[in-house]
Amino acid sequence: MSPRLSRTEKAKRVGEILDRLYPMPPIPLQHEDPFTLLVAVMLSAQTTDKKVNEVTPALFAMARTPKAMAAADEKAILAHIRTLGLAPTKAKNLKTLSQQLADKWGGEVPSDEEALESLAGVGHKTASVVRAQAFGIAAFPVDTHIHRLAARWALSSGRNVVQTERDLKALFPQGTWNRRHLQIIYFGREHCPARGHDLTTCPICSWAASKAKIREESPQKATR
C-alpha cells in the first residue's frame, strides 16, 4: 500500500491497470442504434445486463423504432420485459418516451443531456451512458457499483453519485472517461465484488484502499 500517493497519482496508476486489463472494453448491453441502446439502458435499472440482453431481442423484433414502440400496446411491451425489475413502470415509461421521441424529435434520440433527461424514465446516469456510448460524447456515468469502488479506492469521499462523478471527472483525463467507466464496471464484476472480497489480494484495493477500509472489509486478513 502507498498511503503517500495523492489522489491524482492513484488515479493514474488505477488507469494504467484498467487499460492493461481492459484496453477496449465492450458495451455490455446489446443494441443496434441510439434508440435500442437508450431502451436497454433504461431497462437495466435494478436489473442485470444479462437479463436485459435476454429480453430485448424479442422486444425489438416487435418494435425497434420510437414510432413502432409508441404504437405498441403497453401490455404487449410488459409481456416482453416482465422478468425485469420494476417491469410495469418500465413498460409505461418506454411507451411514453417513445411517443416523446416521435412527437418532439422526429423519432431520433437527442444527444443533448437536458433533452435526454426530459424523457420518461431517463435519469442523469442513463443520459450519460447514452451520450458516451451512442454519441461518443465525453461523460462519466456513475452507478452504485462505480460509486462503491471509488470509495473503496479512496478516489472519492462523495456521499452520493453526483459528488463521485464530479471527483472522478476531476481525476481522470476527459479523453478516458468513456472507457474508464466501463473498465471500472468490468473490474468490479471480475476482481472487486461488493461482498466476500479480500482487499489484500486485489490488484487495486491491495494498494489503493486505506488501512481502515482493509480492516473493515477484510478483517480475517487484518488480524493475521
- Write the DSSP string, 100-155: HHHHHSTT-----HHHHHTSTT--HHHHHHHHHHHH--------HHHHHHHHHTTS
Q: In sequence order, what DSSP letters do the residues of 31-51 get, joined into one string?
A: -SSHHHHHHHHHHTTTS-HHH
Model pLDDT, residue 85: 94
Rounded to 5, what percent of the chain is helix, strand, coil?
65, 0, 35
Please check whether residues 60 and 82 belong to one and the same domain.
Answer: yes
**Alpha-carbon distance values, 136 to 13, 34, 139 (Å):** 25, 11, 9
Model pLDDT, residue 210: 86
Model pLDDT, residue 1: 42
When pLDDT is averaged across residues 191-211 and rounded to a whole number, the result is 93
Please check whether residues 13 and 105 belong to one and the same domain.
Answer: no
Which of 10, 90, 95, 125 does the annotation list as catalytic?
125
Model pLDDT, residue 3: 52
The widest CA-to-CA distance across the chain, in whole angstroms, is 64
* Confidence grade of residue 223 (pLDDT, cut at 50, 70, 90): very low
Mean per-residue pLDDT of the chain: 94
Expressed as residue numbers, the domain containing 17 is: 7-24+141-222
Q: Is residue 1 part of a domain?
A: no
Question: By three-state DSSP, how is residue 194 classified?
Answer: coil
Please check whether residues 98 and 112 belong to one and the same domain.
Answer: yes
**Which helix (H) or strand (E) element contains residue 96?**
helix 87-104
Please check whether residues 86 and 125 belong to one and the same domain.
Answer: yes
Model pLDDT, residue 172: 98
Percentage of the residues of the chain whose pLDDT score is greater than 70: 96
Please check whether residues 51 and 128 belong to one and the same domain.
Answer: yes
Please check whether residues 123 and 211 belong to one and the same domain.
Answer: no
Which of 19, 143, 198, 213 does the annotation list as catalytic?
143
* Confidence grade of residue 4 (pLDDT, cut at 50, 70, 90): confident
DSSP state of 25: P
Model pLDDT, residue 2: 46
Look-up of cell digits 454519441:
135
The answer to whether residue 95 is catalytic is no
Please check whether residues 126 and 38 belong to one and the same domain.
Answer: yes
For the stretch 9-41, pLDDT in tens is 999 999 999 999 999 999 999 999 999 999 999
**CATH code of residue 79:** 1.10.340.30
pLDDT at 220 over 90: no
pLDDT at 158 over 90: no
CA dist 121 and 109 (Å) reads 14
The answer to whether residue 125 is catalytic is yes
Model pLDDT, residue 69: 98
For the stretch 120-155, pLDDT in tens is 999 999 999 999 999 999 999 999 889 999 999 999
Between helices 144-152 and 177-190, what is the axis angle to 10°? Answer: 80
Choosing from 114, 135, 156, the residue where a domain stops is 135
Domain count, the chain: 2
**pTM of the predicted structure, to 2 decimals:** 0.91
pLDDT at 224 over 50: no
